[in-house]
Structure formats: C-alpha cells, structure tokens
Copies of this chain bind each other. A is one copy, B any other.
Amino acid sequence: MLNAMGKAAKQASYQLSTLSTAEKNRALLAIADMLEANSQSIIQANELDMSAARESGMTEALLDRLLLTPARLFAIASDVRDVCRLSDPVGQVIDGSTQDGGLRLQRRRVPLGVVGVIYEARPNVTIDVASLCLKTGNAAILRGGKETHHTNQATVKVLQQALEQCGLPKAAIQAIDSPDRALVAEMLRLDQYIDMLIPRGGAALHKLCREQSTIPVITGGIGVCHTFVDDNVDFANALTVIENAKVQRPSACNSLETLLVHQAIAAQFLPELSARMHAVGVTLHASESAMPHLQNGPATVVAVAEEDYSDEWLSLDLNVTVVADIDAAIAHIRAYGTEHSDAILTRSISQADRFVNEVDSSAVYVNASTRFTDGGQFGLGAEVAVSTQKLHARGPMGLEALTTYKWIGYGDDLVRP
C-alpha cells in the first residue's frame, strides 16, 4: 500500500518541481481559503479525536495540544498565507563558473522530491508541513499520531481538494491514514521514493528512525542545553538570562537544563540564584559542589543524580553544578550535552571566543538565552524542524533545508580531455 503511495508522490513531485513561485502561492492561497470554508468538517473530525482522547485518559496539556477550535484553524490558515510571502529558494543559482575546458557549470537549487514526516499529536503540523513542502515544490507523505487520526484525515481531504482545484495532483500531499504501527516500519524503508525523512517527536522516535530507516533522516529536537556563568558577570543580568532560558517555555527543546557556575563566584552567585528561582517556582538539582551554597536558600533543592545531566527536564527543574573553569565547563557540555544550544555569560572576549570555538553545538550563544534557537527568532520565516545532527542542515531548518541542488553543465558538444 505504501509503495503505491510512494510512487504517486514521486510522480507528483516531478510536476511540483517545475511550478513557478506564483503557481505554488496560488495553491497555498487556495488551501488557506478551503481550510476556512471547510472548518466545520475538520472541527467535527477533531471532536471525534478529542472524545477518544478524553476516554483514554489523556492529560489536559495533551488534550489542549490536540484541540482545534475555529480560532485556531483560522490562525493556521493565516500561517499558510504567510508562507506565500516567504521567498522561494527553488531555482536560485548557488554558484557557477566556466571551467578551463569550456564547461559552463552552475549549481541550481531544486526541490528534494518527496519528504516524509512522522509526527505526534499536533494537528497543526499536518498543515504546516504540507504548506512548506508545497512552497518548495516537494511532495509530502505524512504520518501523524493515532490520536489525531480523524483530524488529519479530514484536513488532508481538504488540502487535496484545494490541490485539485488548482490543477495539481492530490498525491502531492498524502497521509498514511491507518493507525497501524507496522506502517511506520514500512515507511522507513521507502527509500526508493522518499528522499528525506523528518521525525518530529521524542527521543524514542528519533532513535527508531536512526536505527531502522534506509532513507536519510534528519534527527534532532532533543536539547540538553547548558549555560556557563563565568567569574566576571553582572549577577542581575545573568539571572535575567537564566530565568528566561529556563522559565519562558520549559517544555521547549531549547530551554535551559543545566547551569554551570564558575567556582570563583559560586558562594556569592548561588544564593542569589536560589532566591530568583524560588520566585519563579524552579526546583534546583544541585551537585555536591553546588549544594553548600544552595541548601540554605529559599528555592527547593535536591541532590542531582548523574543521569539527570543527560536528560531533558522539560519542566521547572534545573541542574546546578560548580565548575573549576571554562575547561571544566566545556568538558561537561561535551560529556552530557546533545549539541543543541549552549551559552556562556561572560565579559571576557577570550573566554567567549574559546566557548564559541570549542563547544560543538548547533547554536552557541554569548550573553544570550538558549531560547533563541528557533526558525522565527533566526529570521528563517518558517521552521520545518530543529536538527542536532551535522549533515544537510544544523539547528533550525527553514525552507532552504527542504531543497537540494543539481549541477548543470553546458558545453558545445564538449568532451572530457
């Protein structure tokens, strides 16, 4: 079954790859209009998913993530219209040259072809991914979580109607609409048709894809993020950055998980940290070196366990440890980090340079919150995913990450000498 889907997607991708930006934008506008016009059918389908989720005992937080309201759906349609305004990377000439023998060469940006996305219970991802793929001339095969099964089915139906209305193949956007998990394994081996696979979900999904997929995978999204506080900082400013990194949205992958404090300031800084974290409800997980300076402070403090250093809290919890110097800080980040986002707070140019050069993460910050790692904050206009691997794209992935290039060589009946 997936084979036929893959074949149809590949065929559709050939047509999409030759569309002009204006043609693609017309289809995006049609999608936005039809999402609004058909909001009722999508919301009815969402109600089925919601009641099944309630029966299964889903938490309120997850239920809220699953819920589509007319307002939310109209906001998503508006996001689709925003995608029209993004510049289209397809067709850009990256570079070119004329070789000595006369070959006129250029590298031109082209769509990837077929993009596969596996995601969990977020109904907006279906439309997000579909619109970003369409904008870049890619066909998409989507596999949403079983919790959003009805919503996704109804959504994709509307997306496909819009495509057909614009004379485009409906196989450009397809969803695997059975909740059967065996289909994921099948999808992961569809390398004949799918050119890139993006898992959007937790560590287990990324691990599954990395181990099972024969399609090139973009892994990422797991962020054990650090901030190192050097011995020369303004305490009030440092605490403001730390609070932002930890508290603004603790469930995000770019939120702060472990604070590394220079030993020279630990005795003065950590009590102030305790007061500030107490005020915003953060529980501290202190190392043996940090504990003496935290145990009399107002914030709740417990002993950190070794394994806490390698896991995301994604909650109002923060590991705190004291390090001898920047070398120890960098060593800690190399040992426990996930190469997502790490920051140094310092007044020293040389320390900042060392941190930037030696910490091997997708995003490295000097005197800024780790929370900035985001396609919107980076001015990419859209975010397909956040990659923590090093091939193809690193960090927030914008539209360019949905493209590849081809070499085009022009000659005059030219042969290789």
A residues whose Cβ falls under 8 Å from a Cβ of B: 14, 17-18, 97, 99, 101, 103, 105, 110, 112-113, 191, 195-196, 210-211, 214, 216-218, 234, 237-238, 240-241, 243-245, 248, 334, 345, 356-358, 360-369, 371-374, 377-379, 389-392, 394-396, 404-416
Contacts and interface: CB of A to CB of B under 8 A. Distances in A.
A410 B368 contact: yes
A112 B390 contact: yes
Given A99-B379, A415-B244, A416-B248, A363 B210 contact: no
Given A18-B358, A99-B378, A362-B407, 6 more contacts: A17-B358, A103-B368, A195-B389, A367-B411, A367-B414, A378-B407
A99 B377 CA distance: 7
Contact of A407 (B211, B364, B410): B364
Contacts of A367: 410-414
Contacts of A412: 367
B416 A196 contact: no
Given A345-B413, A369-B414, A216 B362 contact: no
A371 B405 CA distance: 19
B14 A368 contact: no
Contacts of A416: 244, 248, 369, 371-372, 374, 377
Nearest to A14: B358
Q: How many copies of this kind of chain does the complex include?
A: 2
A415 B371 contact: yes
A245 B379 CA distance: 45
A372 B334 CA distance: 42
A229 to B, nearest CB: 11
Contacts of A411: 365-369, 372
Contacts of A406: 360-364, 394-395
30 contacts: A17-B357, A18-B358, A99-B377, A99-B379, A101-B377, A110-B360, A112-B390, A113-B390, A195-B389, A195-B391, A211-B214, A240-B413, A241-B413, A241-B415, A248-B416, A362-B407, A363-B406, A363-B408, A364-B406, A364-B409, A366-B408, A368-B410, A371-B415, A372-B411, A373-B407, A391-B391, A391-B392, A391-B404, A394-B407, A396-B407
The 8 closest A-B pairs by CB, nearest first: A368-B411, A244-B415, A237-B413, A390-B404, A371-B416, A391-B392, A368-B414, A363-B407
A410 B366 CA distance: 5
A255 to B, nearest CB: 10
Among A345, A374, A377, A415, chain B packs the most CB atoms within 10 A around the CB of: A415
B372 A409 contact: yes
Given A378-B99, A405-B394, A406-B364, A210 B237 contact: no
A103 B409 contact: no
A133 to B, nearest CB: 14
A241 B414 contact: yes
A405 B360 CA distance: 10
Given A103-B372, A409-B364, A18 B357 contact: yes
Contact of A196 (B358, B390, B405, B413): B390
Nearest to A366: B410
Contact of A238 (B238, B244, B413): B413
A196 B394 CA distance: 14
Nearest to A352: B410
A237 B389 CA distance: 47
B391 A216 contact: yes
A14 B377 CA distance: 29
A416 B341 CA distance: 14
A248 B415 CA distance: 10
A394 B280 CA distance: 49
